[in-house]
Structure 1
Amino acid sequence: MDALFVLAALGLAGGAALLWPRWRLRRALAAPMDPAQVALIRRNLPLYDAMPPELQQQLKRMVRQFLHQKTFIGCAGLEVTDEMRYTVAAHACLLLLNRPSRVYPRLTTILMYPTEFLVPRREADAAGVITETRQGLLGESWGDGRVVLSWDHVQQAARAWGAAPNVVLHEFAHQLDSESGSTNGAPYLGNPQRYESWSTVLSREYQRLRRDAMYGQQGVLDHYGASNPAEFFAVAVETYFTKPWQLADEHAELYAEFQEYFRVDPRAWLPEPRPAPVPEWNFAYGQWQ
């Protein structure tokens, strides 16, 4: 009898251990977002007000789940605030709209630095000599469930959407990429038949960017994306959400692949940029104006 009681107690304890996190998550998702918290998202995600209400609701739900499940840690003396948490969460969850997602299931921790941070690097030259260096970074995505961000540069991207690098979109694109099992520019697409088209288009666009970088031809995609396929994917994702009109104009097939993957069209949230005025010759002054 005692043995049965112990087994029953262990079963109940095991069941409670499994159900408790789900119950806490449901409770967190059911809680309405405070108006001050919504204001933080609205202020730091310029796309928010242009989104239809159903996408705004999706985003807020994902932000609640993100903040419930992930831990923020301030580094180098930085004290993490609600503005930091909600800004990072909103930018990161922008990549998940309209798609079934467990909200970055492998991610556990976001490390926040006040500004650019230094990381150790080991580099080998052609002779095999190892050199220890320290590299300054704005952000980094690690395979152990951590993302590192510079708050200074997160703020710059929020204040100047499309005019400054968006380190959150970039690093969380790496997180999406890694969900397929490796970080190689091919995230989990759901349908196996999608990989043929994805590989064809992204490989061609990657080689095009490498040629542009080699010859100094600058388009909408930053040349950093020519480093490797994983960085190409992250740069392209960042550009898709910050400069969608330009990306669609210069890289139509790439844009179509991303539109099918992300299931949103950021052009609906951003005005089409006006073309630069064509200079005209002013005969009165004898100069181009």
Structure 2
Amino acid sequence: MLSRVRGWFRRTPPSFDPTWEAVLRSGFDHWNLLDDAELERMRMLVARFFHGRRWEAAQGMDLTDEVKVLISAQASMLLLGLELDEYLDVSSVIVHKSTMRVKKQRPTGGGVWSGGTQHISGQAHHRGPVMLSWSAAQRGARVPERGMNVVYHEFAHRLDMMDGVTDGTPPLGDEAAQARWQQVFTEAFARVHDGESILRNYAGTNPAEFFAVATELFFNRPFDVFTHERDLYEELRSFYGQDPANRLVRAGIHPDA
């Protein structure tokens, strides 16, 4: 046992391949907004994710290094400001060419459930794999102004799952923070159902989906969240340890641009 522990400490940390830089600069819009300190941490996070996951291809997907590094960078973006260097319980990442067909049960009322096939772009399993559509992941990385990013969405679910419950409230550290989070998110969730929110309707599915959709919009359209859902923005800024709106301003991009 001791020799195994010593071997673990002797392992060479995974390295960031310099050739990935060009891939990320051309394929991941948010990479170009990061400052030097953020880039240094991101390179470490990307290398850990890239080398530390088991990657699986589906639908005849060609699982190239470009595919893996672009997904790694998007997943790592959520960890950038956290005191967390990796998703410890993600067993593998399964990449499909496009949308996936899954069988789902949905309530139709009166205790009756109806089964059917749905087409989805991603799915996160507790203590298991994360499934992603490459076409959706690529689109989300390149066109953040759409406000959608399947990698952010599914890995927000994985952060939510860290306390063992998928309820839209990730581990927050203390009771006061948790109470504040729940109040802000409950009020914002109600606005989705009342048709008074900038978040898309899918956010109203349940609190877990609300958190995942809010995460997407927070990183992709931060000015919108800051302007229309200020309290929600502040809770997400505090949790993620990042200020995407300020990052855009720092890059010379302003709300009226």
The alignment's TM-score, normalised by the length of structure 1, stands at 0.82
Alpha-carbon deviation of 1:129?
A: 5.4
Among 181, 198, 201, the residue aligned to 1:220: 198
Q: Deviations over 1:50-73 (max 9, x none)?
A: 211001011110111111211111
2:10 paired with 1:20? no
Which protein, 1 or 2, shows the higher relative CO under an 8 Å CA cutoff with sep ≥ 6? 2
3-state SS in 2 of match to 1:208: helix
C-alpha separation in 1, matches of 2:186 and 2:256: 30
2:131 paired with 1:148? yes
Unpaired stretches in structure 1, ≥5 consecutive residues: 1-13, 276-289
Tell which deviates more after alignment, 172-181 or 43-52.
43-52
Paired residue total: 253
Among 86, 102, 120, the residue aligned to 1:119: 102
The alignment's TM-score, normalised by the length of structure 2, stands at 0.92
For residues 84-103 of structure 1, the aligned pairs below 5 Å read 84-103=67-86
Tell which deviates more after alignment, 36-45 or 53-62.
36-45
Cα separation, partners in 2 of 1:94 and 1:154, compared to 1, 3 Å: same
- Structure 1: which amino acid aligns with 2:143? A
- Structure 2: which amino acid aligns with 1:79? D
Alpha-carbon deviation of 1:274?
A: 2.0
- Structure 2: which amino acid aligns with 1:223? N
3-state SS in 1 of match to 2:87: coil
Q: Between the two proteins, what is the percent identity of the paired residues?
A: 28
2:232 paired with 1:232? no
The aligned residue for residue 160 of structure 2 is: 177
C-alpha separation in 1, matches of 2:107 and 2:82: 42
3-state SS in 1 of match to 2:145: coil
C-alpha separation in 2, matches of 1:103 and 1:37: 19
Tell which deviates more after alignment, 182-191 or 167-176.
182-191
The aligned residue for residue 272 of structure 1 is: 254
Unpaired stretches in structure 2, ≥5 consecutive residues: none
- Structure 2: which amino acid aligns with 1:23? R
C-alpha separation in 1, matches of 2:51 and 2:184: 37
CA contact (8 A) 1:220 1:239 kept: no
C-alpha separation in 2, matches of 1:220 and 1:126: 28
CA contact (8 A) 1:88 1:168 kept: yes
Alpha-carbon deviation of 1:180?
A: 1.6
Cα separation, partners in 2 of 1:59 and 1:143, compared to 1, 3 Å: same
Alpha-carbon deviation of 1:258?
A: 0.9
Alpha-carbon deviation of 1:267?
A: 1.3
C-alpha separation in 1, matches of 2:206 and 2:114: 22
- Structure 1: which amino acid aligns with 2:34? M
Tell which deviates more after alignment, 53-62 or 160-169.
160-169
C-alpha separation in 2, matches of 1:164 and 1:237: 10
C-alpha separation in 2, matches of 1:129 and 1:221: 29
For residues 1-289 of structure 1, the aligned pairs below 5 Å read 14-24=1-11, 27-29=12-14, 31=15, 33-123=16-106, 125-126=108-109, 131-163=114-146, 165-212=148-195, 217=196, 219-270=197-248, 271-274=253-256
Query: Which structure 1 residue ranges, 4+ long, deviate > 6 Å from structure 2?
Result: none
For the pair shown, the structure with the greater C-alpha radius of gyration is: 1
